[in-house]
Each structure stands twice: as C-alpha cells, then as structure tokens.
Structure 1
Amino acid sequence: MRIKDLVLAVLILGALALLVDLLKREETLAGHAFAVDGDTLDIAGTRVRLKGIDAPELKQECVRAGRPWACGEAARRMLQEALRAAPVTCAASRRDQYGRPVAVCQAGGVDLSEHMVQQGFAVAYLGRAYAGMEAEARAAGRGIWGGSFEPPVDWRAAHPHGF
C-alpha cells in the first residue's frame, strides 16, 4: 500500500468517526415551555415531542359515563399544569418524521412523560418504558382510563386531517 493510500484511508476513517460522534450527541433544550397538546411542548419556538408516550390528539374525544368529553384538550391542560412547576429541560437523542426533537423532558425534577402516563392522560408508546405506570393508571381509572377511548395512533389514522 502506498503512503498516499494510507493517508487517505486514515482521513476517511477520521471523518467517519467524527460523523458518528455528531450523530450520537444529545440535543439539550431548556427554558419556559407551553403545551401544544398532551405530548408536545414548545420551548422558545421549538416543538418538542415527549419520548415514550402518546396522548390523545387535541381534537380527540373520549367517552365517560356514556358521554363524550374532550380528552385531548384535557391532556393538553394536564401537561400545561406540569409545565408551571419550573423551567423545562429536555434531552433529545433523535428527531421524528416532522423534524421535532423527541426528548425526555423534566420540569421541577419531574419526568413529564411519566407524569402524563401516571395521571392517565397518555399511553406508553414505542419501547413501553412507561408500561407499569400505564397499568397503574388503568387500574385506578385515572384520566382516559375512566371510560373508553380510541388509542391516539388509531384516532390519527381515522382522522388524518383532524389533528
């Protein structure tokens, strides 16, 4: 192998190592936030998707005691209440199909995804990290578990322009 080829190979490997390092880095977002819906928040104009959960869509209705109720709006209010505790810190390791950071976010030391599932206003989603908390909320009949609802993923499929 010639020196020129060896130098080129080292440069290519170095560039690949840098690229891998850049792709593995977490993106950190922090500041005051407001709830867009039950699983999305806005920090200084950046929409952030909460990791590991799926909440009812803003326009979604659920049924409780035989009557429809605005569970999507209730989920947004629940998240907004949690955001009042303190500024938010989010650590995102990837982005979703809409370009939003998908993050584990905390406000006042509280994991917001965990809070939403515990209160019964979101289901555990992708990876099922919050499945135990979902089972507790379901057993207690909290939030959406106090009646019937269409899973948010199914609701979105049935209402592609409704959210």
Structure 2
Amino acid sequence: MRAVAVKLLMSLFFAALPATAFAADKKPVVIEGEARVIDAGTIQIDNKVIRLFGIVAPGPRQKCLRGSLPWLCGAAARTYLKELADRKQARCQAIQSYNARCIVANKDLANEMVRAGWAVADESGEAYRPAEDKARAEKRGLWEYAPE
C-alpha cells in the first residue's frame, strides 16, 4: 500500500514539472544560490526548478485527515520547508534529472523534511528510511494523526 501511494504522489508530481531543470549531459551539476520554495518537495534557484532527491512530499493542496476532518497537510509541509530554506543560500548537486541533494545551513533538506515528518522516503531515498520510521513512531508532521 505504501509503495502504491509513493508512486501515485511521484507520478502526479512529475506530470506537473516544467521542462528542463538540468543539463542533459552526465557531468555533475551543482546549482548554488538563493532558494525559493515552490512546494514541500521542490525549490527553485534562479530559473532552475529542483526536486529534493529521495523523498515524496505532499502536494500544495493535498489534504490529510485528523480523525474525520480534513486539513491542508501539503500547505503545512511547504511552510516547514520555507522555514528551512526560503531565501537562504542553497547548494544542490544533481543526482538524477530534476532531482538533487540540496544543502542549506549544513543541513540536507530532504533529510530534514523526513525527520520532521513532512515527507516520506521514496525508492531512491533508502538513507532516509530510519528518519521516516522515527518520525512515524514519534507522531511528527504527517504522522501526528495517522492511524496506528
């Protein structure tokens, strides 16, 4: 079930992505500059749109449930990433097309989002799985109202 949810979130995200964020050649691409947060899993530096590598975060209008009441968990996740990165200097190294590991203030943004419970590790983000498990166990972020 979890894998299906992750794939669905990923397919919805990639359908909305703009054309080219990174060069087509295979040289390591490093992008540095002031980050602007687009959503809970995406930042922009200059004209480059960068998806945080290894995670899936809720979309901007995605809703979660608190019991039977919906709430805008995507907006809350975006707010958290804005606190971490918006208008701050970022250094991103492309891992795959459209995906990069981004560092702000010596912190891996993807890891911080997962640790706080505002994103989950995807298939390529195995290194983030322990942080996800801990966030879930401690009921942080998206997990605060998740059923046991």
Quickly name the TM-score band, shorter chain normalised.
0.7 to 0.9
1:66 CA displacement? 3.3
Cα-to-partner distance string for 1:18-67 (whole Å, 9 max, x where unaligned): xxxx9442110011111111100011121100000000111100012432
Quick check: which one's helix share is greater? 1
Give the Cα–Cα distance (whole angstroms) in 1 for the partners of residues 86 and 26 of structure 2.
31
Query: 1:48 maps to what in 2?
Result: 50
Distance 1:23 1:46 in 2: 16
State the match for 1:119 in structure 2.
116
Query: Percent same amino acid at aligned positions?
Result: 37
In structure 2, how many angstroms separate the alpha carbons of the residues matched to 1:93 and 1:131? 18
Inter-partner Cα distance in structure 2 for 1:84 and 1:90: 14
**TM value normalised by structure 1:** 0.70
Q: How many residues align?
A: 123
Please give the alpha-carbon distance, in whole angstroms, between the structure 1 residues aligned to 2:95 and 2:113. 20
Q: How many angstroms does 1:94 deviate by?
A: 2.1
Match of 1:131 in 2: 129
Is the contact made by 1:105 and 1:112 (CA closer than 8 Å) also made in structure 2? yes
- Aligned partners of 1:33, 1:111: CA distance in 2, in Å? 13
Instruction: Report runs of 4+ in structure 1 exceeding 3 Å deviation.
Output: none
> Is this contact kept in 1: 2:136–2:143, CA < 8 A?
yes
Matched, 1:141 2:143: no
Separation of aligned partners in 2, 1:92 and 1:141:
31
- Structure 2 portions without partners, runs of 5+: 1-23
SS of corresponding position for 1:131: helix
CA distance in 2, matches of 1:64, 1:143: 12
Q: What's the Cα RMSD here? A: 1.8
Give the alignment's TM-score, normalised by structure 2: 0.77
Which of these two proteins has the greater Rg computed from alpha carbons?
A: 1
Q: Which of 78, 99, 107 in structure 2 is aligned with 1:76?
A: 78
